């Protein structure tokens, strides 16, 4: 045992096709996350700009609270462990 590393990984429990689907979901989630971040940042910067310039825009204020509120409360934040089947779930073929 001296000098040998033990593999601490658990054996795979998914099929190759499930892994491909999960990888695709991760790519889509990454695009969606980036899109949401860009929109939230854009609206925030626009709100800061109109505040500095003392421009009244009730629509922008409403959009800011709506967009940022949804950004921080969306379900991905609650999906700990990323996409795919969780250990507490059983695979139900789709």
Reported as a single tens digit per residue, the pLDDT across 26-71 is 888 888 888 888 998 999 999 999 999 999 999 999 999 998 888 7
Most confident by average pLDDT, 1-10, 12-21, 57-66, 85-94: 57-66
The residue with tokens 């033990």 is 6
Is the pLDDT at 90 greater than 80? The verdict is no
What's the token pair of residue 41? 């940042």
Distance CA 92, CA 35 (A): 30
Predicted local distance difference test score (pLDDT) of residue 56: 94
Q: Is 58 helix (H, G, I), strand (E, B) or coil?
A: helix
């Amino acid at each position: 045992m001296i000098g040998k590393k033990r593999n601490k990984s658990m054996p795979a429990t998914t099929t190759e096709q499930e892994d491909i689907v999960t990888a695709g979901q991760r790519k889509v989630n990454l695009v969606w996350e980036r899109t949401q971040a860009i929109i939230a940042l854009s609206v925030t910067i626009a709100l800061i700009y109109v505040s500095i310039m003392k421009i009244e825009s009730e629509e922008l204020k409403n959009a800011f609270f709506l967009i940022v509120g949804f950004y921080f409360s969306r379900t991905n934040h609650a999906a700990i462990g990323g996409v795919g089947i969780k250990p507490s779930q059983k695979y139900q073929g789709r």
